[in-house]
Amino acid sequence: MSPGNHEMIRFERLSSLNGLPINEPGYWGHNGYVSGSVFEVTSRSAGEGASFELKLLPLPSVFRKDWTITEEDWEEYATLIAEGYSFAAYDGTRVAGMIICAAQQWNNTLHIENLLVASQYRKKGIGGALINRVIKEASQSKFRQVTLETQNTNVPAVAFYRKQGFRIDGLRLGLYDPSENPGEIAIFMAYRIG
């Protein structure tokens, strides 16, 4: 399969985690990211107002973040999948990728909780195709937007989502525990429907 060619891949709504390679060692590959730059966030308060600025800066050395999807995460994903807004990409019977989404009825938003592409299917357009499937679903289900959260250190993710039509929608300076994630700031991104 060549990059951007998903003719052999079919996209289906996920109904459960049954039969998916959720704990198969090495199947999903590196779970994390590597970045040579960071969005530095500066905040200023003046009188009754405040402003925030994001500035892309090179890092003196490559930043690498790794994480593990726990059994608790998979249990949460199973609950979200039952809502009916999550999808998988299949190459025959093999799962090439999946996108787990949560409906937030209170603000009429479909929120992307996780996007996973199996290591052998990366850089082939699967992630973008899954995003497009979710945007189509959000439009058909009359959600007003699709949202997600990433980090100021995850510059590759921000670039990827911008390429898919998402815009930076907000920041949360204190979301992450600085003892576990020093220097990380939450970046919220949104794709407006219509």
- pLDDT tens-place string over residues 124-138: 999 999 999 999 999
Q: Which helix (H) or strand (E) holds 131?
A: helix 126-140
Q: Cα 23 to chain center, whole Å?
A: 20
| pLDDT score of 6 | 54
**Average pLDDT score over residue span 67-74:** 87
pLDDT in tens, 160-191: 999 999 999 999 999 999 988 888 999 999 99
101 has a pLDDT exceeding 80: yes
Q: Quick one: 8 exposed, middle or buried, by C-beta within 10 A (0-12, 13-18, 19+)?
A: exposed
- Domains of the chain (ranges; CATH) run 9-192 (3.40.630.30)
**Average pLDDT score over residue span 90-119:** 95
